[in-house]
Amino acid sequence: MPDPSAVFGREASSRPSRASLRTAVVWDVLKDALDRRVEATGKDSLDVLDTGGGSGNFAVPVARLGHRVTVVDPSPNALFALERRAAEAGVADLVTGVQGDIRGLFDVVGREEYDTVLCHGVLEYVDDPAEGVRNAAAALRPAGSLSLLAAGVGGAVLARALAGHFTEARHALDDPAGRWGAGDPVPRRFTAEQLTELADGAGLQVGSVHGVRVFADLVPGVLVDTEPGAAEALLKLEAAAAELSSFHAIATQLHVLGEKRA
Ligand SMILES: C[S@@+](CC[C@H](N)C(=O)[O-])C[C@H]1O[C@@H](n2cnc3c(N)ncnc32)[C@H](O)[C@@H]1O
């Protein structure tokens, strides 16, 4: 089994990469969830569905752990990049890209056929997030786990304010969709409560909520890149803050892990 830190571009002996600073919290929770499903099912290799998996940021590392991953995404370009990336990682046989979207998920995949479903960075873009989560949950086998990752409102408010865009920060604070204005490229953001309600409403027992990228997007890169040991220390700080509900309110992203009720 490959070293998961290396999977995300961090060699054991070197400084964590920028990408791993942003994904480490989610990866650690996801890796634990996969390990638990392996133990519970007795299968070495799980069936994993990555809805809106794009070019395989998570799908390819999950396949590198030996699991079979189906990526459903509407973008042909993303699926092309996924295919290339899976081939480069030597897991082309474990990764299947399918063009489709979460709304019509069951036009392209079966119900209750997956041990774990990922829905990362997708709910922001769909018209009906509740329907999206219900479909993701319906793809799970009983007791399967759903990994839900979406943009947090508070993180956007804080980021706009720290950049000096106070009116936009206030707009994001008041806007029901958490958008900072007409130029905001993200159509919708969530609070931790909204995400857990969506998971609960889709028949999932919420196991954990984590705040993701509480500090990583805010600190100047030069501090992280030049200070010896800074990146490692930031990684540890992110991991500690991720667990605390007080920091969920200002995280750039929120991660919810749920288990399908039997
Ligand atoms: C921000 S990217 C996230 C990619 C990947 N999940 C990750 O975490 O790196 C959003 C992805 O959602 C896909 N997407 C957009 N609308 C979607 C929909 N209705 N159903 C499924 N995927 C969708 C996009 O094509 C894109 O690949």
In tens, the pLDDT along 212-249 reads 999 998 988 888 888 889 999 999 999 999 999 999 99
Report the nearest atom of ligand 1 relative to the CA of 73: 22
Backbone torsions φ then ψ of 252, nearest 5 degrees? -65, -40
What pLDDT does residue 9 have?
45
Lowest model confidence (mean pLDDT) among 10-24, 173-187, 195-209 = 10-24
Decide whether any atom of ligand 1 lies within 6 Å of the 17 Cβ: no
Which residue has the CA at smallest separation from atom 20 of ligand 1?
Answer: 101
Give this prediction's pTM: 0.93
List Cβ neighbours of 47 (8 Å cut-off, separation of 6 or more). 67, 68, 70, 113, 114, 115, 116
The confidence score (pLDDT) of residue 50 equals: 98
Q: Helix axis angle, 18-41 relative to 230-242, nearest 10°?
A: 50
Write down all domains in the chain, each with its CATH number in brackets. 4-152+190-260 (3.40.50.150), 154-186 (no CATH)
CB of 102 shorter than 6 A to ligand 1: yes
pLDDT at 5: 42
pLDDT tens track for 90-139: 999 999 999 999 999 999 999 999 999 999 999 999 999 999 999 999 99
Exposed/middle/buried for residue 218 (C-beta within 10 Å: 0-12, 13-18, 19+): middle
First to last CA, the chain: 30
Structure tokens given for 159 = 């980021």
Q: How far apart are CA 115 and CA 73, in angstroms?
A: 19
Q: Which atom of ligand 1 sits closest to the CA of residue 52? A: 22
For the stretch 226-244, what's the b/e string if a residue is b when 16 or more beta carbons lie within 10 angstroms of its beta carbon?
A: eeeeebeebbeebeebbee
Query: Is 61 within 8 Å of 87 (Cβ atoms)?
Result: no
